[in-house]
Amino acid sequence: MRVDEITGVRFVREPYPFPSFPGRESLTVQFLGPGGHTVLRCYAHELYDGQRMRPEKLAAWQAMRERNGNRDESRVDHGILLVPAACTKVIRGPCRNG
């Protein structure tokens, strides 16, 4: 998969996928390809210290999410994160010449 083929990015906090660890969560960043299917999934590594989620790992994942639009899912076009349509309102005032 080439970077210009990525169509979206998704930040996911969900229950841990393995039943042998009840109550745990996983933090992932998923890159979406054509059709919105996940083509690459990156997990937060060493997320737990015993039974407790490491706060610095959660903080790092949240900071990355905030730097990338602070949304669960965002669209990407040729490697560029797109601003949602609801946020593109242009406000124009009167033209003033000096």
In order of their start, the domains of the chain are 3-87 (3.40.1570.10)
Nearest partner of 30 among 93, 59, 72, judged by Cα:
72
pLDDT, average across residues 73-97: 65
Q: Tell which wins on pLDDT, 63 or 69.
A: 63
Q: Which pTM value belongs to this model?
A: 0.77
- DSSP of 24-36, one letter per residue? -EEEEEEEE-GGG
85: Cβ contacts below 8 Å, ≥ 6 apart: none
